[in-house]
Amino acid sequence: METKEVIFMNKGEGESSYLQNSGISPFLSEKSKRALERAVESILEENSVPLQVLSVADLGCATSLSTFSVMATAIDTTKKMQVVAPPEFQFLLNDLPGNDFDTLTRGLSRFLNGEKCKGVSCFAMVSPGSFYGRLFPRNTLHLFYSCYSVCFLSKVPRLRDEAGLALNKGKIYISKKSPGAVREAYLCQYQQDLSLFLKSRSEEMVANGGRVVLILPGRESADPTSEDVCYHWEILAEAIASIVDDADKLDSFDVPYYVPSIEEIKQVVDKEGSFELEMIEISATDGGGLENISVKELTNSIRCFTESMISHHFGMNIVDKLYDKVTHLLIRDLATQAVPTKLISFIVVLKRKMVNYK
């Protein structure tokens, strides 16, 4: 399954929309704010000639409660530095074509005409497309930011044996029951995608000193099947299996998603070679800002980013019934305290290596 036409957060402002269920976004935005501020400070300080334009791209921006936080932080940081000749700001908001760009552009218009942009020259535009490839002209961007987006893969890895039989029967992601070939296929796809992501950004970034700030779901364990990582996929697989009679239909559905370890990230960065790892920080939080929500809200927090995949493969007619089943399973697990509440995130800052033109 190619993801660029299938993956998107639920649109609009309804009960199961991403806008109404993106409470984790402000939480993550606040956690990573200082890293983003330092990246902006470094870019401005390291340029011997004052920048006329500071170009920033938010990749996988979605349409959430914190969509414009990157823009706000870049503007505020520049103002605090009291730059003699402040640069103009160019912001590029990117997501896959299915994103709710109508809601996004309405919010963008309010932001550009709001208090935050008074006294600065600020331009912004949306840029639909996959970040697993080029999005922007060469040598034009100073800063890339992405929060909980690079965990989505460009496609589902091939999970069939030589005879064409499904390797991941009854599951939709890596699980403790998945054979080793499934884990290897997911890791290989992640390595290919992250490498392409970095290569594309290096070509779009200014020659020296640009930064990439990534906030990623992560895992502390070397085991990719830890409950903190896999729980919501296990719940979805159980719910699907309970209402889908067609085993082949279930066995042909796997999600394009991967949660890396720190070592896996470092290996790709080192091998691809365009960036040096300036900082990697682990944020481990019990609850992750979701500890006080109801079971229905917890269901909607899962639904808002999985429904597009589910409906594409199984059809819209099962969607409401499926997520009702998810609610019942969550109630069951909450009663036995089987629902993981620990949220592991990695805050990663990459610096573009110096380019030698000799």
Strand, coil or helix: 213: strand
Inter-residue contact 328 to 298 (CB < 8 Å): no
pLDDT, tens digit (0-9, with 9 covering 90-100), for 57-114: 999 998 887 889 999 999 999 999 977 788 999 999 999 999 999 999 999 999 999 9
The CB density around residue 39, as the number of other CB atoms within 10 Å, is: 28
Low-confidence ranges of the chain (pLDDT < 70): 1-2, 287-292, 355-358
* Residue partners of 316: CB distance under 8 A and separation at least 6: none
* Each residue's pLDDT tens digit, 248-290: 898 999 999 999 999 999 999 999 999 999 999 999 877 544 5
pTM of the model: 0.93
> Which of 95, 92, 77 lies closest to 5, judged by CA?
95
Q: What count of other Cβ atoms lies within 10 Å of the Cβ of residue 262? A: 16
- Measured CA to CA, the distance from residue 272 to residue 258 in angstroms comes to 19
The pLDDT, as a whole number, for residue 290 is 52
10 DSSP assignment: P
Q: At CA 91, angle to CA 89 and CA 93, rounded to 5? A: 175
